[in-house]
């Protein structure tokens, strides 16, 4: 894992970039994933923020025409987003395992979209394996920042090319 001070500075920088740049104008490729372990429900509650144009590029892969989110029905957007998440984001209780995710929905915010989903481990856990490849096939410089809140602790992790998998403990 990277040092906490470095990650805090990186997260702050990326947050400023995510809120301050306009779609189509950014040259920095990053996503932010907030993960909260809800011990009462024994599930991970996830909110993932992605630039709209980056998400459209990813969702367009394998489609007959480029995807424009504004032109999609809610059902079609949810289906495409869920399929993409299943291919690029994997949570497990052991290496190589993929727990099912439940998409809750997608919400627009300025020049980005929030994707909400849950992951339910089969039993109470004190850690999780995460493989986070979101947009790594689309952008060489893609960075995926994960902020985890669980067991009364907060931590951050950075995922990028060559560093797609990590074990997060609490």
**pLDDT the model gives residue 14:** 60
Q: Pairing state of beta strands 30-38 and 143-150?
A: parallel
Over the stretch 2-23, which tens digit does the pLDDT of each residue have?
666 666 666 655 655 555 444 4
4-25 burial: b if 16+ Cβ within 10 Å, else e: eeebeebbeebeeebeebeeee
Over the stretch 40-86, which tens digit does the pLDDT of each residue have?
999 999 999 999 999 999 999 999 999 999 999 999 999 999 999 99
Q: Kindly tell me if the per-residue pLDDT of 1 is higher than 70.
A: no
Name the one residue in this structure whose structure tokens are 């339910």.
120
**pLDDT the model gives residue 22:** 45
Q: Global pTM?
A: 0.84
């Amino acid at each position: 894992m990277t040092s906490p001070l470095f990650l805090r500075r990186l997260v702050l920088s990326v947050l400023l970039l995510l809120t301050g740049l306009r779609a189509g104008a950014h040259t920095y490729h990053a996503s932010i994933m907030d993960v909260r372990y809800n011990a009462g429900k024994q599930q991970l509650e996830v909110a993932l923020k992605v630039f709209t144009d980056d998400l459209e590029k990813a969702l367009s892969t394998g489609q007959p025409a480029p995807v424009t989110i504004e032109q999609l029905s809610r059902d079609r957007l949810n289906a495409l987003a869920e399929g993409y998440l299943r291919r690029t984001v994997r949570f497990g209780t052991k290496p190589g395992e993929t727990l099912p995710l439940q998409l809750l929905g997608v919400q627009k915010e300025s020049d980005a979209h929030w994707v909400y989903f849950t992951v339910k481990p089969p039993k109470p856990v004190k850690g999780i394996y995460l493989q986070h490849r979101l947009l790594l096939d689309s952008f060489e410089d893609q960075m995926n920042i994960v902020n985890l809140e669980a067991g009364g602790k907060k931590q951050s992790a950075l995922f990028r090319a060559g560093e797609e998998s990590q074990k997060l403990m609490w």
